[in-house]
């Protein structure tokens, strides 16, 4: 294949063990999933809850082992978590006993960089996410939006090839969410990366992504793939763009189909 | 609230320290009431002065013990035993608890022992420990260590098991190794639980310090209580008992302020 792929997912199935151990029938979360994500593409994974989109993200992250099929990046097959694939979680997952600066410095220290350099790089990323002045604050002193900015800075600071985002704005209020979406897209333009962005918000996916994969109800597969074709610039005017509105409706219908199937599946 | 309204005014006109004293008195009013009841019961003749010496007699005995140096020497002996046993228990207990939470093999091997040993009264082991380690310091330190060990193990284990897995995943995806995750992520994340366990252990250390010195000792506060009681010097005996209580109280308060300083990242929530 071409050398410019970001993430290659081939024939990945994943079953969670039942509560009773090996005797019980496991839940099949993913079934024969194939997906090719391009280098430096902003890719959204969209689907009804329980469709296995987070599972797919955790598999790419290496947090849970691949059972069948294979996942590879430019660095080879994924076997364990690593700083080349950094992740941002919905609940921020900052280290609460560390200040913002210490949080952002953590990954840099793990790379073995000298302390002064860690500090400089961390400061630059805190500035990038517009948290300057809050370096010495603890996460508990920050609002949800600010905590998520800090988490994004911590993740970007280690300069990963791939940025994994697990419903990162799901816990934020609507206004903060909108602001964070615009800023994320802006940051991504300045620092291009392969992004896999999991969400169940159709408009968020359309606004942010270059390409959207819609997953089927459990067991999850990639059901549809759609190029948004909205171009690199996304801002307030994108929201009223005719293509944005049409895409939103078209994708909403596709997601709704799967959501209905999921609810009939008696989950 | 009225107290809230008064505070800034007091700070301005310099009555702040007076108010602080008043607040302290209100807070420990139950203790003052208990002392008053104590004194009244003694004077009323309901209970003989022998059984319940008056506050004045106890205070006089306390000053005597203090002047003779007996109290300070024995307190020092006792507290150094308690501190050694407690310190060892915190180090070992923290390590064992964290390893139990993160290494299934360690958990399988140690968990049953912890469950069996925790509810067993450690003072029941005094005769046995005396045979093992003799009458010296080692036997007392060992008992204190054993008693303090279990609450620390259990709290470290529970704390480490309760750590948000996404925090651990974040650390590994930032490049932390398994060892680094344990030391730099799980340990500080479990610290609130661990420190709560240490506080329980601190109280246990005082209890075991006194009860082990009752049985096996030639010095220490427990020994002093026993020998004064045997000699019929009840005011002095009460003075030592209250010294133990007071010292335990101060130790707990000091530990409490250490905890709130150490966990200041939690408080602003």
Q: What residues does each domain of chain A span?
A: 1-15+28-84+189-267
Report which DSSP code applies to B2.
Answer: H
In which band, very low, low, confident or very high, does the pLDDT at B1 lie, cut at 50, 70 and 90? very low
The answer to whether B70 and B224 are in contact (CB under 8 A) is yes
pLDDT at position A189 over 70:
yes
Distance CA B172, CA B170 (A): 6
Distance from CA of B263 to the nearest CA of A (A): 8
pTM comes to: 0.83
The answer to whether A79 and A62 are in contact (CB under 8 A) is yes
**What pLDDT does residue A233 have?**
80
The answer to whether B209 and B144 are in contact (CB under 8 A) is yes
H or E element in which residue B26 lies:
helix B16-27
Average pLDDT over residues B229-258: 93
Cβ contacts (< 8 Å) between A155 and chain B: which residues?
Answer: 174
Residue pLDDT, tens place only, B200-209: 999 999 999 9
Query: In angstroms, what is the C-alpha Rg of chain A?
Result: 19
DSSP A2-60: -TTEEEEEEEEEEEEPBTTBTSSPPEEEEEEEEEEEETT-EEEEE--TTSSHHHHHHHH
Distance CA A34, CA A10 (A): 5
Distance from CA of A250 to the nearest CA of B (A): 34
**What pLDDT does residue A262 have?**
76
B173/A85 Cβ within 8 A = yes
The CATH number of the structural domain formed by A1-15+28-84+189-267 is 3.40.50.300
In which band, very low, low, confident or very high, does the pLDDT at B267 lie, cut at 50, 70 and 90? low
Structure tokens at B71: 């109290």
Q: Is residue A87 classed as helix, strand or coil in its secondary structure?
A: strand
pLDDT at position A20 over 60:
no
**What pLDDT does residue B10 have?**
41
B185/A82 Cβ within 8 A = no
Asked: is B75-262 a CATH 3.40.50.300 domain? The reply is no
Residue pLDDT, tens place only, B39-50: 888 888 888 877
| Average pLDDT value over all residues in chain B | 89
B175/A158 Cβ within 8 A = yes
Residue pLDDT, tens place only, B166-208: 999 999 999 999 999 999 999 999 999 999 999 999 999 999 9
Chain B residue with minimum CA distance to A108: B174
C-alpha dihedral over B165, B166, B170, B173, to 10 degrees? 70
Residue pLDDT, tens place only, A42-58: 999 998 877 788 899 99
Cis peptide before A172 (omega within 30 of 0): no
Task: Output the CA angle B43-B46-B48, nearest 5 degrees.
Answer: 75
* Facing A140 at nearest CB: one of B166, B175, B268: B268
**What pLDDT does residue B268 have?**
53
Tell me the ipTM for this assembly: 0.88
Lowest mean pLDDT among A193-197, B4-8, B43-47, B244-248: B4-8
**What pLDDT does residue B8 have?**
44
| Cβ–Cβ contact A138 with B under 8 A | yes
Distance CA A156, CA A104 (A): 9
Distance CA A85, CA B172 (A): 10
């Amino acid at each position: 294949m071409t050398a410019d792929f970001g993430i290659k997912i081939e024939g990945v199935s994943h079953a969670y063990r039942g509560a009773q151990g090996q005797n019980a029938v496991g839940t099949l979360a993913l079934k024969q999933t194939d997906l090719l994500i391009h280098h430096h593409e902003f890719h959204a994974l969209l689907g009804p809850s329980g469709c296995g989109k987070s599972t797919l993200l955790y598999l790419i992250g290496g947090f849970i082992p691949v059972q069948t099929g294979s996942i590879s990046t430019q660095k080879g097959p994924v076997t364990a978590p690593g700083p080349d694939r950094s992740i941002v979680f919905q609940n921020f997952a900052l280290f609460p006993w560390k200040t913002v600066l210490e949080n952002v410095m953590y990954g840099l220290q793990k790379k073995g960089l000298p302390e002064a350099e860690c500090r400089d790089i961390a400061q630059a990323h805190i500035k990038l996410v517009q948290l300057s002045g809050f370096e010495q604050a603890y996460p508990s002193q920050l609002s949800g939006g600010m905590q998520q900015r800090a988490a994004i800075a911590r993740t970007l600071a280690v300069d990963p090839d791939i940025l994994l985002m697990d419903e990162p704005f799901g816990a934020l209020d609507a206004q903060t969410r909108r602001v964070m979406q615009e800023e994320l897209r802006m940051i991504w333009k300045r620092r291009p990366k392969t992004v896999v962005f999991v969400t169940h918000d159709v408009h968020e996916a359309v606004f942010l992504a270059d390409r959207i994969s819609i997953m089927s109800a459990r067991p999850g597969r990639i059901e549809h793939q759609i190029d948004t074709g909205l171009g690199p610039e996304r801002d307030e005017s994108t929201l009223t763009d005719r293509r944005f509105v049409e895409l939103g409706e078209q994708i909403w219908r596709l997601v709704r189909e799967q959501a209905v199937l999921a609810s009939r599946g008696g989950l | 609230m009225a107290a809230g309204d008064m505070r800034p005014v007091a700070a301005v006109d310099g009555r702040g320290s007076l108010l602080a004293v008043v607040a302290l008195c209100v807070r420990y009013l139950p203790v003052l009431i208990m002392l008053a009841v104590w004194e009244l019961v003694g004077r009323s003749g309901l209970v003989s002065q022998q059984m319940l010496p008056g506050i004045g007699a106890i205070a006089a005995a306390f000053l005597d013990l203090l002047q003779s140096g007996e109290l300070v020497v024995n307190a020092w002996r006792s507290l150094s035993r308690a501190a050694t046993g407690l310190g060892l228990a915190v180090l070992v207990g923290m390590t064992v608890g964290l390893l139990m939470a993160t290494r299934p093999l360690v958990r399988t091997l140690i968990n049953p022992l912890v469950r069996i040993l925790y509810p067993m009264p450690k003072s029941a082991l005094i005769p046995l420990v005396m045979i093992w380690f003799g009458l010296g310091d080692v036997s007392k330190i060992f008992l204190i260590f054993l008693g303090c060990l279990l609450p620390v193990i259990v709290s470290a284990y529970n704390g480490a098991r309760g750590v948000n897995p996404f925090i651990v995943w974040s650390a590994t995806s930032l490049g932390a190794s398994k060892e680094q995750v344990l030391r730099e992520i799980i340990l500080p994340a479990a610290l609130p639980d661990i420190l709560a366990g240490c506080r329980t252990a601190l109280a246990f250390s005082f209890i075991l310090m006194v009860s082990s010195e009752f049985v096996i000792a030639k010095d220490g506060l427990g020994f002093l209580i026993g020998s004064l009681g045997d000699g019929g010097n009840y005011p002095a005996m009460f003075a030592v008992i209250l010294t133990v209580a007071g010292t335990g109280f101060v130790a707990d308060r000091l530990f409490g302020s250490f905890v709130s300083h150490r966990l200041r990242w939690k408080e602003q929530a």
